[in-house]
Amino acid sequence: MITLTQDCVLHAVEVKSWNAKAPLVHPLETLGVSRQKKLRHAMRLFLKEAEASRELRPLLEEAGCGGPVQEMGGSFDLLWLKGEGDVEYFEALF
């Protein structure tokens, strides 16, 4: 999921769900250096595509984010659906 804040910061939100059959591993434990590098690369690719997108550009301008897309801030968040209605949100991990 990707969201855009009012101050033109993109938040890439990864959603993880708890699996009762799997051993309990906290999702933050999976965010090692190599995974962070892959996620940053994915954000750069997304921004490059967004810059060229004829559909996305008008939406960004309407939101007041008319500058170069590559200069927009970015953040990675995690939404953990833990089961039985429990949800944990980790904002701006990197």
Q: Give the tens place of pLDDT for each residue, 10-33.
A: 888 988 887 767 777 788 888 889
Pair of tokens at residue 34? 């190599």
pLDDT at 3 (0 to 100) = 82
3-state secondary structure 3-60: EECCCCEEEEEEEEECCCCCCCCCHHHHCCHHHHHHHHHHHHHHHHHHHHCCCHHHHH
Total-model pTM:
0.70
Report how far residue 22's alpha carbon sits from residue 28's, in angstroms, rounded to the nearest whole number: 16
pLDDT at 77 (0 to 100) = 92
39 has a pLDDT exceeding 80: yes
Domain range list for the chain: 2-90
pLDDT in tens, 40-92: 888 888 877 877 888 877 878 888 887 777 777 788 999 988 877 889 999 88
pLDDT at 16 (0 to 100) = 86
pLDDT at 46 (0 to 100) = 81
Task: Give residues with Cβ within 8 angstroms of 32, minimum separation 6.
Answer: none
3-state secondary structure 56-90: HHHHHHHCCCCCCHHHCEEEEEEEEEEECCEEEEE
pLDDT at 78 (0 to 100) = 92
